[in-house]
Amino acid sequence: MKSKICVVGSSNIDQISYVENIPGDGETVFGSSYQMGFGGKGANQAVMASLLGAETYMITCLGEDVYADMTIENYKKNNINIDHLQIVPGSSGVAPIWVDESGQNRIIVISGSNDLIDAEKVIESLSKITDLKIIVGQFEIPLEVTEKVFSFAKENNITTILNPAPAKIPSENLLSLTDWFIPNEVEFATISNLDAFVDEDLIEYGNSISGNLIVTLGEEGAASVAEDSVNKISAPKVKAIDTTGAGDAFVGAFAYGLASDLMPQDAIKLAIDRASNSVTKPGTQISYSAK
């Protein structure tokens, strides 16, 4: 039986412009290329988990537009179960993205229908999915929805993974419902006012929450905290072309590893490997692969 994962989160259409240098205030620059693709942190994580072999469900909210039609077809192409999609009037989510020559990105997320996901309908959907091992959440849908979803998960002994991106301060209740808390180094600093590259800071924050802490560190890999120790796993040295979606590749791959009963450190190694591979290619989901 395949490992069963449900991602409750966002779907966006990525609109990616590649430029030598990001323009400053009032400046116009010429880009080298443009690409439109499928994104949204939730969608990205679901695609990565599905590519690795998980039986993956996506619960998301789309608008009544051509982007919704495109998104649905993309989910089908990636073997992701969409029986529980929600559709509302208005626009789907979009994300204009700038990527400079070093591979670093700047992203503007316009939530659209993602802000209108109905928590009660999500809970009703989750109750129909049997043998669910993991639920993954992020911060591109309303936090109160994720909190209700994680409360359902706890009541039903389902493991929860929270990727607090874009960075917002989670409630104490949401943190108490989270089994695996996975920010990147910037999100960690925003949420904790601590430095992800200082072991003592990682330990301090890790001991302040009830769940497990993993912080992704970009090209330096990731750090996990267990009681009073920090375990850092380095990333392979690669030439980064586009870092967009690398964090989502990490979370999706980690969820797959955990649902497949890998030891947490082995799941982290798999996640680093898939995230590192993704930055060597342009685009978001199209940069993901199983190996």
pTM: 0.92
Tell me whether residue 200 is in a domain: yes
Place 75 in a pLDDT band, splitting at 50, 70 and 90: very high
Look up the CATH number of the domain holding residue 37.
3.40.1190.20
In terms of pLDDT, which residue wins out, 15 or 57? 57
Q: Could you give the percent of the chain with pLDDT greater than 70? A: 100
Q: What is the average pLDDT across 220-239?
A: 94
Q: What is the pLDDT of residues 182-196, one digit of tens each?
A: 999 999 999 999 999
Tell me whether residue 289 is in a domain: no
Q: What is the average pLDDT across 10-28?
A: 92
The identity of residue 134, as a single letter, is: I
Residue 284 has pLDDT above 80, yes or no: yes
Catalytic: which of 248, 261, 266, 273?
Answer: 248
Residue 164 has pLDDT above 90, yes or no: yes
Tell me whether residue 290 is in a domain: no
Range of the domain at 105: 4-22+33-284
User: 130: alpha, beta or left, given left = phi > 0 and alpha = psi -120 to 50?
Assistant: beta
Tell me whether residue 109 is in a domain: yes
Tell me whether residue 73 is in a domain: yes
Tell me whether residue 291 is in a domain: no
Spatial separation of the C-alpha atoms in residues 217 and 182, rounded to whole Å: 11
Q: What is the average pLDDT across 263-287?
A: 95
Give whole-number Cα distances, 6 to 39, 127, 213, in Å.
17, 12, 21
Work out how many domains the chain is built from and give that number. 1
Residue 1 has pLDDT above 70, yes or no: no
Residue 2 has pLDDT above 80, yes or no: no
Residue 222 has pLDDT above 70, yes or no: yes
pLDDT of residue 167: 93
Q: What is the average pLDDT across 164-173?
A: 95
Q: Is 248 a catalytic residue?
A: yes
Q: What is the pLDDT of residues 91-147, one digit of tens each?
A: 999 989 898 988 888 888 899 999 999 999 999 999 999 999 999 999 999 999 999
Question: Each residue of 231-257: b (16+ CB within 10 Å) or e?
Answer: eebebeeeeebbbbbbbbbbbbbbbbb
**Nearest by Cα to 45 from 201, 202, 279, 271:** 271
Tell me whether residue 187 is in a domain: yes
In terms of pLDDT, which residue wins out, 95 or 229? 229
Tell me whether residue 28 is in a domain: no
For residue 83, the number of C-alpha atoms closer than 13 Å in the C-beta half-sphere is 11
pLDDT of residue 143: 96
pLDDT of residue 237: 94
